[in-house]
Chain A
Amino acid sequence: MNNPHPAGLKDLVARQIPRRYRAEWLFEKAGLGALVVGLGFLAFFFYTLVMNGYTAFWQSRIALDVPLTAAVIDPDGTRDVDLIGQANYQGLLRDALRTRFPEVTARGELRSLFALLSPGASFELRDRVLTDPSVIGSAVEFWAVADDDVDMLIKGHSSRDVPESDRRLSDQQLAWIDALQADGAVEKRFNRAFFTSGDSRDPELAGIWSATVGSFFMLLVTLVLSFPLGVATAIYLEEFAARSRWTDLIEVNINNLAAVPSIVFGLLGLALFINLFGMPRSAPLVGGLVLSLMTLPVIIIASRAALTAVPPSIREAALGVGASKMQMVLHHVLPLAMPGMLTGAIIGMARALGESAPLLMIGMVAFIVDTPQSPVDPATALPVQVYLWADSPERAFVERTSAAILVLLVFLLLMNAVAVILRKRFEQRF
């Protein structure tokens, strides 16, 4: 047989080989470069979040010896919870401060002395007395929550080296704080309130609990509505519907719907659920309905993909031994497709958890202090809480914003981790 290659071709290929290797090397390195750039941004994002946010998990407190005078708290000695709850705890805290700094007597000076403590300190003192009424009559050491300006100073977020007029704290207040610090009466302690309380305009009292509960109710409604509906739609389209122009049209529309900007769903929710059905504003029920609309296409697409991944042999075998079509789907196809469907659902839910734009229209971008008790109570969501804090003038909200983002990221990470674990554990390859 003759040489099939013309003589010049071999040379040509030989000449091209180094160039091809070079191109391949460049291609690979470009991919790596893209990855490094992406990871770099991510690392920067996490770095700034953690550096800004970690301090919010601690809160400065000031130790005071508070005399829990029986005459103030429970004058009749009845230990009646209602009466004890209404006592003037702020007065007790102020007395304790005056005892600590007996030289302060002028009214204005007292005002700035009392400003070292957060308005929330008296509520904590009340709760402490209510949980253990036996302390009434004795003096206790009470670690009172410090005001946010004091907190920022202690954490080094605000500077003391600027003229007095440019500071939130006066020279005198700084001297008091220094004196307290010299006594070891100022300490940073774990900020439990951040996890257990609702929103507040005093940064030192603000927490993410009510927003977390709001997000939970919303996701619950979303899951209950969109998962069964999504799975049922996917099963119908994959297993029952004959391919026709109509199913093609539906498919295109579902794929389109998955890409619609989320604010549009908010507008739809406002028009449909609130204006037409008269549902309450700011309620997680409406939020959940809106997010269901948004999540449905994602779940349908993922569920259909999971169903197509089940090999036809399974279906044929089931039908072959006499199973009805419904038995085939419920007993054989669905169990095999479930991990994929759940993964899709969880990823859809994670996206819903991070959503804030559609909630603006239905009134969930709101100041909510009380923890919602049901899906129809007014509530807000975690990403909305982040947004509201980011817009607050008080400096102490800066670290709290970052801390709330960190908590939100932890939730998202957990959800995505569950999706990965489900897939790894239950996935079957054919």
Chain B
Amino acid sequence: MKRIINELTVQLRIAVFASMVFMAVGSAQAQSARDYISIVGSSTVYPFATVVAERFGRSSSFRTPTIESTGSGGGLKLFCSGVGVQYPDITNSSRRIRASELSDCTSNGIDEVVEVKIGYDGIVLANDKSAPVYDVTPADIYLALAKNVPAPDGSNAVVPNPYEFWSEINPDLPNARIEVLGPPPTSGTRDAFLELVMEPGCGAFAVIKALSGDARDAVCQEMREDGPFIEAGENDNLIVQKLQANPRSLGIFGFSFLDQNADKVRGSLVNGIEPTFDSIADGSYPVSRPLYFYVKGAHVDFIPGMREFLGEFMSEAATGEYGYLSDKGLIPLPDDERAAVETSVRELKPLTSADFSH
């Protein structure tokens, strides 16, 4: 019996040894230089960054960069974990890096974070083509979707949202039940929607102007949970399909999905402006946000192809006014702004805390 157990432990030892060799091989590979660019970050920037990466891989002698779709916050966290081949070189973000995230980066030894603004993305409120066109203001959207709103009787109180029909909010709007499909709180689109629509919408009311801090956020940033606002998941294609199935509902998603499905759904007017490529580009359509990516300066000369990839991304052919990214729905930067970004990328100008003062 004892002999058998001894034999078995020998086998066990061999198995443990084999798996350790296996792991050693893995880590040895990791420590050797990485010959491709590793990109993480926002799922909103993902469709654009991937196009550039693919073209770059096809047209250059470098390997195609890998791009993970981790979300803006997750991407920045990975990006700021440290310097070295096991950490990503670039992170995409559908919002600007926060001062706290930048200081995280600095404390992990990342001194040079280069900010690259690549263009704009519009957020649209759309519905099926067969349904009436909505012409709304941010205040209308706020009243329809916030959890708590100023009392409709004009008194100085904030009450749970009583509105059930669009026509109750604004007599010019259709007499239809409020039913809006939107992104969940984990989504960058949701953050941008709160900042660009709900905030200005709620700021229009005198009652709220008196509030500040958390009390104001509770009124301005909380979406209602009693049915009219439906969290439809991160998948924008799904929202488009649901709008077709239910023409009475509206959906909130990125402009590129409207651009691809313009034969099926229509964007609502906001402040009387239709969401089109041009109206977002010239800034007249109010609900648009800049998209960024952040580059680790220390990696640029160590990972093969970084400079060339940045060059491809900032080229006229990619992010220019008629570049291939605009075909994919990215709203390009105005020429002078793009030139400024291009210069700061070429010089690898790092972000400093002073950039957050304004």
Residue A253 at the B interface, CB < 8 A? no
Contact check, B329 vs A240: say whether CB atoms are below 8 A apart: no
A274 pairs with B46, CB closer than 8 A:
no
CB-nearest residue of chain B to A292: B19
Known interface pairs A232-B12, A325-B1. Does A394 touch B64 (Cβ–Cβ under 8 Å)?
Answer: no
CB under 8 Å from chain A, chain B span 43-59: 43, 46-47, 49-51, 53-54, 57-58
- A326 CA / B256 CA spacing, docked (Å): 65
| Complex contact B26–A285 (CB within 8 A) | yes
Residue-by-residue, is B64-77 near A (CB-CB < 8 Å gives 1, otherwise 0)? 10111110000000
B15 interface residue (CB < 8 Å to A):
yes
A 383-400 contacts with B by CB, 8 A: 388, 390-395, 398
Question: Contact residue range for chain A?
Answer: 35 or more
Q: With A168-B260, A393-B329 known to touch, is A370 a contact of B38 (CB < 8 Å)?
A: no
Within 8 A of A (CB), among B247-267: 254, 256-257, 259-263
Q: Does A25 contact B (CB under 8 A)?
A: no
In the bound complex, what is the Cα–Cα distance between A168 and B328 (angstroms)?
11
With beta carbons under 8 angstroms apart, the residue of A200, A286, A368, A393 that contacts B26 is A286
Min CB–CB distance A177 → chain B (angstroms) = 16
Are A201 and B328 in contact (CB-based, < 8 A)?
yes
- Complex CA–CA separation, A54 to B346 (angstroms): 47
Is the C-beta of B206 less than 8 angstroms from some C-beta in chain A?
no
Closest Cβ of chain A: how far from B217's Cβ, in Å?
Answer: 30
Contact B47 A393 (CB under 8 A): yes
Closest to A200 in B: B54
Cβ of B46: which chain A residues have Cβ within 8 Å of it? 367
The verdict on B344 contacting chain A, using a C-beta distance below 8 Å, is no
Residues of chain A lying within 8 A (CB to CB) of residue B23: 273, 277, 279
- Which B residues between 234 and 284 are near A, CB-CB below 8 angstroms? 234-237, 254, 256-257, 259-263
List, in ascending order, chain B residues with CB within 8 A of A378's CB: 36, 38, 66
* Nearest CB on B from A9, distance (A): 58
Q: Which residue of B lies closest to A272 (CB)?
A: B23
CB of A92 within 8 Å of the partner chain: no
A167 touches B263 (CB 8 A): yes
Check A367/B263 contact, CB under 8 A, given A240-B8, A393-B237: no
Is B235 within 8 A of A390, CB to CB?
A: yes
Q: Please determine whether A166 and B29 come into contact, CB atoms closer than 8 angstroms.
A: no
Q: Which chain A residues border B1 with CB–CB below 8 Å?
A: 325
- In the complex, how many angstroms separate the beta carbon of B18 from the nearest chain A beta carbon? 9
A391 CA / B238 CA spacing, docked (Å): 9
Q: Is B357 an interface residue (CB 8 A)?
A: no
Residue A338 interfacial (CB < 8 Å): no
Say yes or no: A363-B58 contact (C-beta < 8 A), given A158-B263, A277-B26, A280-B26: no
CB distance from A250 to the nearest CB of B (A): 15
Known contacts A232-B11, A363-B68; decide if A280 and B86 are in contact (CB<8 Å): yes
Residue in B26, B67, B257 whose CB lies within 8 Å of A366: B67
Return chain B residues, CB-CB under 8 Å to A240. 4-5, 8
Shortest distance from the beta carbon of B126 to any chain A beta carbon, whole Å: 12
Nearest chain B residue, comparing its CB with the CB of A396: B260
Report whether B66 and A390 are in contact in the complex, using a CB–CB cutoff of 8 Å: no
Q: Who on chain A is nearest to B34 by CB?
A: A280
A123 interface residue per 8 A CB criterion: yes
A279 near B27 with CB under 8 A, answer yes
**Which residues in chain A, 361-417, are within 8 Å of chain B measured between CB atoms?**
363, 365-370, 376, 378, 388, 390-395, 398
Distance in angstroms from B251 CB to nearest chain A CB is 14
Q: Give which listed residue, B30, B66, B69, B256, contacts A279 with CB less than 8 A.
A: B30
Which of A162, A236, A280, A370: most chain B Cβ within 10 A? A280
Known: A201-B47, A390-B235. A395 touches B261 (CB 8 A): yes
Closest to A277 in B: B27
Q: Is B31 an interface residue (CB 8 A)?
A: yes
Q: State whether A326 touches B26 (Cβ < 8 A).
A: no
Instruction: Check if A130 is an interface residue, CB within 8 A of chain B.
Output: no
Neighbouring A residues of B34 by C-beta, 8 Å: 280
Q: Which residue of B is nearest A370, CB measured?
A: B64
CA distance A286 to B27 in the complex (A): 10
Q: Are A365 and B69 in contact, with the CB atoms below 8 A?
A: yes
Name A163-177 residues within 8 Å CB distance of B.
165-168
Judge whether A391 and B86 touch: CB under 8 Å.
Answer: no
In the assembled complex, how far is the CB of residue B304 from the closest CB belonging to chain A, in whole angstroms?
Answer: 14
Residue contact A236 to B69, C-beta cutoff 8 Å = no
On whether the beta carbons of A391 and B237 are closer than 8 Å, the reply is yes
9 A-B contacts, Cβ less than 8 Å apart?
A: A165-B262, A225-B22, A240-B4, A278-B31, A363-B68, A367-B68, A376-B30, A390-B235, A391-B234
Further contacts, 8 of them, CB under 8 A, given A366-B66, A391-B237: A158-B263, A168-B260, A277-B26, A278-B30, A282-B66, A285-B26, A367-B46, A393-B254
